[in-house]
Amino acid sequence: MQDVTRATFNEVMVPNYAPAEMVPVRGAGSRLWDQQGREYIDFANGIAVTLLGHCHPKLVEALTTQAGKLWHLSNVMTNEPALRLARKLVDATFADRVFFCNSGAEANEAAFKLARRYGNTRSNGRQNQIISFYNAFHGRTLFTVSVGGQAKYTQGFEPLPGAIKHLPYNDLATLEEEISGETCAVVMELVQGEGGILPAAPEFVAGARKLCDQHGALLIFDEVQTGMGRSGKLFAHEHYGVTPDVLTSAKGLGGGFPIGAMLCTEAAAQVLQFGTHGSTYGGNPLACAVAEAVLDIVNDPLLLAGVETRAGLLREGLDRIAKRYGMFEPARGFGLLVGAPMSAEWKGRAKDVVNAALRQGLWALVAGPDVLRIAPSLIVPEADLAEGLKRLDAACAELVGAGMRKAAGG
């Protein structure tokens, strides 16, 4: 087998990523090991993807069993794992219909295409505006990055798809002013992930539902990051008591195996008739077999209650660190999707914390330059949670100490 190192990336890969210097080679539960055999606690989980940890035995079993049966058919035929998974998702949620794809971006692409077709069908092409919110993130295709409200992801890719309006998040009054008979959909994250782990206000979510009903628009919830138990419910909208017309899921749905899904009502589904949309790999047997195993494990009241317990321990630990070093403001988020905003003195330095944590053997994330993002496994052992917080504490101590030495001229 050919030897590769981090330097190989700079030689052969497109430079759109800047991965860490360490190269993981093995994972088990909430721990990773790199090429040198060093161990890390994983509080990132592939950006909230490996929600049952690395190499969960039931997921390994589902994958290897299916691998010995059938890998791929395309959608000229259906397959048993896809049908079982779709049935279980419909039974567990508001949805009547499911469309499978390979990622969150593809799930959102499907949702936005459905919304456009829904509005156009109802209005002879007049109802085609999509309303989204500043600092949203919905994927990296040209359509989804245009619906997302962050200019840094669209600069240089113009001209962008039109009839997309961005509004302030959590501002119901502005949404009420701007929504109209030309609006085919309102799309929102219930917690803005890349935008800083900002939860939606209950009145904002309920108000959006009411306004969509008044104007005949679809309400789309992007639950790519908040779904599949991450919030302490199977899907985060359950906390709000508000039901969407369309919901997108990915990330944790496959527990690390690529899969995405768009869930929708019967009325919404009917506009995507034969030939209007598709995916060669979407709903392939390998992905669906793994996702079925994930759903069977996650959709369990005991596991979801455990998410809430672990979330409480995590936030308590983060707040203790915040008080000790003055580096963070109080933690926010839902369940085990937690953001620790940097204090005024440390604004813009979330990446410094991530880098220091990595030196201490902890893998964490940012949500923009001002927020440390933590998304551990839903079943992270409490001992690993405590050890991860201990390593984060050491990282903060390192940064504060370095700052003191610099101030002293050392």
- Tokens 């939860």, residue? 199
Residue 410 — very low, low, confident or very high, per pLDDT cuts 50/70/90? low
pLDDT of residue 87: 98
- DSSP-derived secondary structure letter, 367: S
Which helix (H) or strand (E) is 105 found in, with range? helix 104-123
> 271 near 113, Cβ under 8 Å?
no
The residue among 55, 1, 63, 49 whose CA lies nearest residue 32 is: 55
- The strands making up 39-42's β-sheet, listed across from edge to edge, are 24-28, 31-34, 39-42, 362-363
Residue 207 carries which side chain, given as an amino acid letter?
A: G
Q: Can you give the pTM of this predicted structure? A: 0.96
Considering the domain delimited by 57-298, tell me its CATH architecture: 3-Layer(aba) Sandwich (3.40)
pLDDT of residue 124: 86
pLDDT of residue 121: 93
pLDDT of residue 404: 53
**CA distances (Å), origin 95, targets 86, 198, 238:** 10, 26, 13
Q: DSSP letters along 257-270, please? A: S--EEEEE-HHHHT
The residue among 376, 381, 237 whose CA lies nearest residue 315 is: 376
SS3 160: coil
Judged against a pLDDT cut of 60, whether residue 408 lies above it is answered with no
The full set of domain ranges for the chain reads 57-298, 302-378+390-410
pLDDT of residue 125: 82
- Tokens 């993981």, residue? 24
Rounded distance between C-alpha atoms, residue 133 and residue 150, angstroms:
9
Q: What is the Cβ-side half-sphere exposure of residue 148, based on CA atoms within 13 angstroms? A: 26
Contacts of 408 (CB under 8 A, 6+ apart): none
Cis peptide preceding 159, ω within 30 of 0: yes
Fold classification of 302-378+390-410 is: Aspartate Aminotransferase, domain 1 (3.90.1150)
Of all residues in the chain, the percent with pLDDT exceeding 90 is 96
Indicate the pairing of strand 246-249 with strand 218-222.
parallel
The total of other beta-carbon atoms located within 10 Å of residue 276's CB is 10
pLDDT of residue 405: 54
The residue among 323, 317, 329, 326 whose CA lies nearest residue 392 is: 317
Rounded distance between C-alpha atoms, residue 66 and residue 399, angstroms:
47
Of all residues in the chain, the percent with pLDDT exceeding 70 is 98
**CA distances (Å), origin 85, targets 229, 293, 303:** 16, 9, 19
Q: Token digits for 151?
A: 């200019």
